[in-house]
Amino acid sequence: MAQFRDLAVAGARRLATRLASGLLVLWVSVTLTFLALQVVPGDPVKIIAGPGAVLTPDAVAALRQQFGLDQPAVERYLHYLLGLAHGNLGMSYESQQPVTTLIFGQLGSSVALTLAALSVAWIVALLGILLTAARSPVWGGLGRGFEVITSALPDFWLGLLLITAFSFKLHWFPAIGRGLSGLILPALALGIPLAGFLGQITRQSFEDAMAQPFALSVQARGASDLRLRLRHALRHALLPGIALSNWSVGWLLGASVAIEQIFARRGLGALILEAVQRRDFPIIMGSVVLIALVYVLVNIVTDGLTFLVDRRSQAGEARA
Amino acid sequence: MMRQVPGPRGRLLTAWLAAATLSLSATAAWAADQPQSGGTITLATFKEPRCLDPTVGGDVPQDIIAHMFTDSLISQTEDGAYHPWLATSWDVTDGGLTYTFHLRTDVKFSDGTPFNAAAVKANFDHWLDPKTGSANIAPQLTNLASVTAVNAATLVVKLKSANAFFLTTLANPSAGMQSPQAMARGNTLNCESPVGSGPFIVQKWIHGSEVIFTRNPNYNSPPPQALHTGPAYADRVVWKVIAEPATRFNALLSGEVGVLNGLPPEDYITAKSSQNIAIIDDFQPGVPWQVDLNTKRAPFNDVRVRRAFRYSLDAPAGLRSIFFGAYQPAGGPLSPNTPFYDAAVEHAYPYDIKAADKLLDAAGWTGRDAQGYRTKNGQRLTVHFPVYASTQPADLALYEQLQATAKKAGFDLQIEKQDDSKVYARQYSWDYDLYIDYWTVNTPGALTFIYDSDGLTSLDGGYHNNEAGISDPHLDALLAAGPATSDPAKQKQIYDEAQQIVSDDALAAPLYVYPSIAAFNTDKVRDVRTDWSVHSVTLYDAWVPKN
Amino acid sequence: MSGVAIIEQAAVADAALHQGPARRGPGFAVYASCFILALVVLAAVWPHVLAPTDPYDIDPTSAFLPPSSAHWFGTDQSGRDAFSRVIHGTRPSLLIGLLSIATALAVGGILGLAAVLGGRAVDHAVARVIDVLFAFPGLILALICIAILGASPVTLAIAVGVGSSGGYARIIRAQGLIVSTSGYVAAARMLGHAPRRILFLTILPNIARPLLPLFTLGIGQCIVWATGLSFLGLGVQPPEAEWGALLADSRSYTALAWWLTVFPGAMIAVTSLSLTILGRYLQARFDGRDAA
């Protein structure tokens, strides 16, 4: 029981530290973005007004006031932080919609794609490992080769090939489908290269685990090969892959813009690309906040998981 | 009229044209079918507007949206004739200074408020309010003196000076009538859910993805050119944005999308040969897709260099290889289907490197550097051409071909692909030698927007319409005299001379006639028209066949 | 985009650093990779040797010709020789990759070393900076860089380099901590060597050693990411032939002219693959020496 209490205290302390450093990361990200946007050339008001829009100086001044652009940068910065503390990300210059509405409007599509891509990556990587890792050199070589090759594929190229072959030529998948059928090809394009990396990193720890003495003893107790692989070796091999996936989430959320374009999907990536090109600062800031927040939260969750799951190290810590 | 601004196909102020010619590859197969009610039509286009109210800004896609939910005061056909719509008739008096409109009294906006003279006046006020930021209608109404609602059915508009193109402006889809009650909510709300008296009602705008329209069950005000009366056939219209050309086209082929606005040129041949794809093959009047030559700085401050540049371009070859002949080459200041178009200048500058060489030699660009570019006093003959990063691939490929042929004459044509904001900034500060331009209106008045010296400055110190930077008092006088006269013979004389000047001065290099190519999948939808008015798609008569 | 790949590649390398090395000699794959990379370098340095046809010479009448003996990779929308464009595209693509990874290692190196050498406070600060580098959306970073500096290969390389520097900083820091607490350093201290001497003769070489494989692995991933941004129209200016730009140009024609999509993409994939195989081999060798 004492051990358990120690564990809880250690866990709480760890969580508190993580939360504090997460907040710090968030603040630094927001501040850096704000500073960078001060240097970006291009006047948002002129862009909103648009070429050809004959705006009087009064109208321009009114727009500036509306967006708070007439205030000094320091004041705008503090104002933004204050809003952020209340969960208010401001209004888009261009569409004059709340940034939260715009981002959450795209989030569903991005989250679906991210999760689908991660699922594809895990399924492909695990299949490859269960079938080929710690087997004969030929199998191992095949698996390794598959992983190295897929990890070198540019996702947007894969996307172009997949949509051309399976959608334009064979008509197996819709060109712009929503829902599950429209998710498969983009998820494959993003997930297959990711599977290569996941496979490489997991294979290493899997083979190490299979070479551990406990693997032999499990086998000696008469467990089947599949059982050994699934129940024992895999469990030990998953941690690096989990860490990797958590890095990927933040990335996939915002970075799949080329795939979104190819498959005519909306998503955060497209929103961000347009926002930067049109100098819609509140959307850019909001996206940074969201993605950094997701990264921080996912990190805290995986950190907690690692903390709880990795019993051996915990036991060691508790004893120490 | 329309104008290249942000993005691949920019802001557009469209003009009124007539019922479009349908070149249907599959006419016979379904000619006998009868229109039927029900179903959903999905339309895909390349770009989302920033606002659904067509007067805010004035983007290409806004015209289609305007057709969905508004009716205009009058309509116009290709022959230039004006027809009634929400106005049943009108009188022009005082030598063209006073217009009295007689309005329909049985029309209601879809929010239940009545259409009447006061509502029309509210629309004029909305267009002219600087807060609206109208880039298409307001600049055409600068000579407006007063708008008076005499009674519910009568509206009097007075002008300060005669304007032969005043009715053209009112026939523009962007000048569709909106509910005053809806406009009073302010731009932000009106952009989201504008209200008109048109055949469809804006139901929901999912930003970045689609606009959903539902049928207006009480619709009773179609224009006379429509094929039927009463409510539209389709229950719903989903208006989608698909920026990627290949995806857009393949969605049409597979039937995921019924109608395509903006058929990618590379898919033109495939579309023509597909049994179930009908193409509406049309092009727009006004000033064609062209590059304006900045005469305010070297090297294009020398007319010989400008002419040499025009001789060095072979746009027709590019249009054949990249656009598969889907686009028609342009050679003159106006598109061939514009009133008073002068065919005499269409072929003024054939592709002729020798002629270009001769002119450049005469202009003193006689040196050649290691890369084969011409030089003068150690300066290379460089031409800076800023283009939007979002330029459609086919256009970019065309520019690369121009770059290659211009190089043969010794021009170092630098295509500078930058993000929209940077390109605007360069436009504002005259930091370019070439700038993409087009202006669609079915009057030769388009020339005024582009070459009048008034267009050298803008009120907010930013964008200028006169991208060539030309200030020619004689040309200004001609462009002012055109709309002020109503004698067609005299107008022809004036505009012939204006076109001659623009061509001789080589103020711009026209590339192609701005196309209006739409396509639809006949398994999914029938009777799509590039409507009775503008060359943009209208779905009032369209219906969904039941399979 | 493949930015994530850089981090992942770093993670793969990271894992490899701490786990048992593969003890194998160079196999067929390594030789094949070296051969391909030699060709790639040749294409980058003397493209005319491999592709004598002018990559910018248009001929609209022979547009969209499929691959043939006259045009190995077919022709594009302007009748230009696609093989020549792919070969001439090697130089900018490779340079962007090299410059990216150099930037990434420079930024990562400075951060990592500062963490190792600067004491506890600096180490904490660096750890947070690395966190920020991971948390900050790479796409936004790249787009803002491009918005400020303008679209060019150098901007692209800086954006990609900074965006991927977090992973390298983490690896270099980890390696530095291992080295500085290792036996060599303790021994050097006991021998009374000056701190500077310990730094330059003991710590730095041991940190630098694993960088060569990382560098090799990183070029490939940086090329993939940079071509991804270039695919969005944020890289080289037309008509320059760069792999990402070639792919971007091709995407309207995928159904019509597959060769315009397949070959530039295959070049990216094959180059990145060769660099990965070589990098993994180098890594195994260096680790092997470490272990020995």
Tell me what percent of the residues of chain A surpass a pLDDT of 70. 89
Q: State phi, psi for B210 to the nearest 5 degrees.
A: -160, 160
List the domain range (segments joined by +) for residue A10. 2-35+98-319
Neighbours, chain C (3 or more CB pairs < 8 A): A, B
Give the whole-angstrom CA distance, residue C177 versus residue C126.
13
- Residue C162's contacts (CB-CB under 8 Å, 6 or more residues apart) are C103, C104, C107, C133, C141, C145
Q: What is the mean pLDDT of residues B376-389?
A: 93
Strands B382-388 and B412-418 turn out to be parallel
Give the whole-angstrom CA distance, residue B395 versus residue B267.
14
Q: In Å, how far is A262's CA from the nearest CA of chain B?
A: 6
Strands B236-241 and B40-45 turn out to be parallel
pLDDT digits (tens, 9 = 90+) for C126-168: 988 888 888 888 888 888 888 888 888 899 899 889 988 888 8
Which member of C29, C224, C255 has the closest CB to residue A164?
C255
Strand partners, B287: B439
CB burial string A109-139: b at 16+ within 10 A, e below: bbbbbbebbbebbbebbbebbbebbbeeeee
Give the pLDDT confidence score for residue B292 in this predicted structure: 97
Residue B421 predicted with pLDDT over 50: yes
B chain contacts of residue A99, beta-carbon cutoff 8 Å: none
C chain contacts of residue B268, beta-carbon cutoff 8 Å: none
Query: Over the Cα atoms of chain C, what is R_g?
Result: 22
C131, A160: Cβ pair inside 8 Å?
Answer: no
Give the whole-angstrom CA distance, residue B514 versus residue B327.
8
Integer angstrom CA distances of residue A122 from A111, A128, A185, A240:
16, 10, 16, 13
Residue A56 falls inside a structural domain: no
SS (H, E, C) chain C: CCHHHHHHHHHHHHHHHHCCCCCCCCCHHHHHHHHHHHHHHHHHHCHHHHCCCCCCCCCHHHCCCCCCCCCCCCECCCCCEHHHHHHHCHHHHHHHHHHHHHHHHHHHHHHHHHHHHCHHHHHHHHHHHHHHHHHCCHHHHHHHHHHHHCCCHHHHHHHHHHHCHHHHHHHHHHHHHHHHCCHHHHHHHHCCCCHHHHHHHHHHHHHHCCHHHHHHHHHHHHHHHHHHHHHCCCCCCCCCCCHHHHHHHHHHHCCCCHHHHHHHHHHHHHHHHHHHHHHHHHHHHHHHHHHC
Nearest residue of chain C to residue B420 (CA atoms): C147
C-alpha atoms less than 13 angstroms from C-alpha of B412 in its C-beta half-sphere: 15
A chain contacts of residue C135, beta-carbon cutoff 8 Å: 25-26, 29, 250, 291-292, 295-296
Nearest residue of chain A to residue B138 (CA atoms): A54
Residue B23 predicted with pLDDT over 80: no
Residue B9 predicted with pLDDT over 80: no
Question: Between the CA atoms of A50, A51, A54 and A57, what dihedral angle is there, to the nearest 10 degrees?
Answer: 70
Give the pLDDT confidence score for residue B525 in this predicted structure: 94
Residue B62 predicted with pLDDT over 50: yes
Strand partners, C277: none
Most A-contacting residue of C144, C155, C253, C270 (CB-CB within 10 A), to test interface:
C144
Mean pLDDT per 10-residue run, chain C (292 residues)?
45 48 67 94 93 89 91 92 95 93 92 86 89 85 86 88 87 83 77 79 78 84 87 83 90 88 95 91 69 32
C-alpha atoms less than 13 angstroms from C-alpha of A186 in its C-beta half-sphere: 33
Residue count of chain B: 547
Average pLDDT, chain A: 82
Total domain count, chain A: 1
pLDDT digits (tens, 9 = 90+) for B313-371: 999 999 998 888 888 999 999 999 888 999 999 999 999 999 999 999 999 999 999 99
Give me the CATH topology for the region C26-45+69-286. Answer: MetI-like fold (1.10.3720)
Give the whole-angstrom CA distance, residue B204 versus residue B181.
19
DSSP A168: I
How close are the terminal C-alpha atoms of chain B, in Å?
40
Q: In Å, how far is A264's CA from the nearest CA of chain B?
A: 6
Which member of A21, A164, A197 has the closest CB to residue C131?
A21
Most B-contacting residue of A66, A92, A94, A95 (CB-CB within 10 A), to test interface:
A95
Angle at C190 between CA C188 and CA C196, to 5 degrees: 45
Most A-contacting residue of B207, B211, B426, B438 (CB-CB within 10 A), to test interface:
B207
Q: In Å, how far is A245's CA from the nearest CA of chain B?
A: 29
C-alpha atoms less than 13 angstroms from C-alpha of B471 in its C-beta half-sphere: 8
Average pLDDT, chain B: 86
Which member of A154, A157, A273 has the closest CB to residue C232?
A273
Q: What is the mean pLDDT of residues B225-249?
A: 91
Give the whole-angstrom CA distance, residue B521 versus residue B253.
7
pLDDT digits (tens, 9 = 90+) for B429-465: 899 999 998 887 778 888 988 898 877 765 445 668 8
Residue A236 predicted with pLDDT over 90: no
Residue B182 predicted with pLDDT over 60: yes
Residue count of chain A: 320
Q: How many CB pairs under 8 A join A and C?
A: 185
C chain contacts of residue A278, beta-carbon cutoff 8 Å: none
Give the pLDDT confidence score for residue C110 in this predicted structure: 92
DSSP letter string, B110-156 = TTSPBP-HHHHHHHHHHHH-GGG-BSSSGGGGTTEEEEEEEETTEEE
Give the whole-angstrom CA distance, residue C125 versus residue C115.
8
Question: Which is higher by pLDDT, B178 or B326?
Answer: B178
Residue A203 falls inside a structural domain: yes
SS (H, E, C) B322-371: HCCCCCCECCCCCCCCCCCCCHHHCCCCCCCHHHHHHHHHHCCCCEECCC
DSSP, collapsed to helix, strand or coil, labels residue B511 as: strand
Cis before B217? omega within 30 = no
B422, A59: Cβ pair inside 8 Å?
Answer: no
In 3D, which of B241, B257, B238 has the Cα closest to residue B521? B257
A chain contacts of residue B420, beta-carbon cutoff 8 Å: 47, 277-278
Give the pLDDT confidence score for residue C9 in this predicted structure: 52
* C227 close contact with A: CB closer than 8 A: yes
pLDDT digits (tens, 9 = 90+) for B500-517: 999 999 999 999 998 878
A52, B248: Cβ pair inside 8 Å?
Answer: no
How close are the terminal C-alpha atoms of chain A, in Å?
16
Residue A48 predicted with pLDDT over 80: no
Q: In Å, how far is A1's CA from the nearest CA of chain C?
A: 34
C chain contacts of residue A284, beta-carbon cutoff 8 Å: 140, 144
Q: Residue C178 burial (CB < 10 Å; 0-12/13-18/19+)? A: middle
A52, B135: Cβ pair inside 8 Å?
Answer: yes
Give the pLDDT confidence score for residue B533 in this predicted structure: 56
Nearest residue of chain B to residue A101 (CA atoms): B207
Q: pTM above the 0.95 mark?
A: no
C138, A254: Cβ pair inside 8 Å?
Answer: yes
Q: What is the mean pLDDT of residues B405-425?
A: 89
Give the whole-angstrom CA distance, residue B456 versus residue A99.
37
Structure tokens at B54: 């067509």
Give the pLDDT confidence score for residue C179 in this predicted structure: 81
Residue A67 falls inside a structural domain: no
Question: What strands lie across the sheet with B287-293, from one edge to the other?
Answer: B434-439, B287-293, B508-512
- Residue C59's contacts (CB-CB under 8 Å, 6 or more residues apart) are C75, C78, C79, C80
Nearest residue of chain C to residue A149 (CA atoms): C273
Give the pLDDT confidence score for residue A71 in this predicted structure: 87
Residue A54 predicted with pLDDT over 70: no
C12, A197: Cβ pair inside 8 Å?
Answer: yes
CB burial string B322-333: b at 16+ within 10 A, e below: bbbebbbbbbbb
Give the whole-angstrom CA distance, residue A60 versus residue A189.
45
Q: In Å, how far is A79's CA from the nearest CA of chain B?
A: 23
Among the listed ranges A187-196, B28-37, B340-349, B436-445, which one has the minimum average pLDDT value?
Answer: B28-37
Most A-contacting residue of B59, B141, B254 (CB-CB within 10 A), to test interface:
B254
CB A237 within 8 A of CB A209: yes
Give the pLDDT confidence score for residue A159 in this predicted structure: 93
Q: In Å, how far is C151's CA from the nearest CA of chain B?
A: 6
Q: What is the mean pLDDT of residues B17-39?
A: 53
Question: Which residue bears the tokens 């027809």?
Answer: B83
Question: Which is higher by pLDDT, B99 or B25?
Answer: B99
Name the pLDDT band for B471 (thresholds 50, 70, 90): very high
Q: What is the mean pLDDT of residues B120-146?
A: 85
Question: Which is higher by pLDDT, B305 or A269?
Answer: B305
CB burial string B97-109: b at 16+ within 10 A, e below: bebbbebbeebbb
In 3D, which of B373, B297, B337, B330 has the Cα closest to residue B508? B330
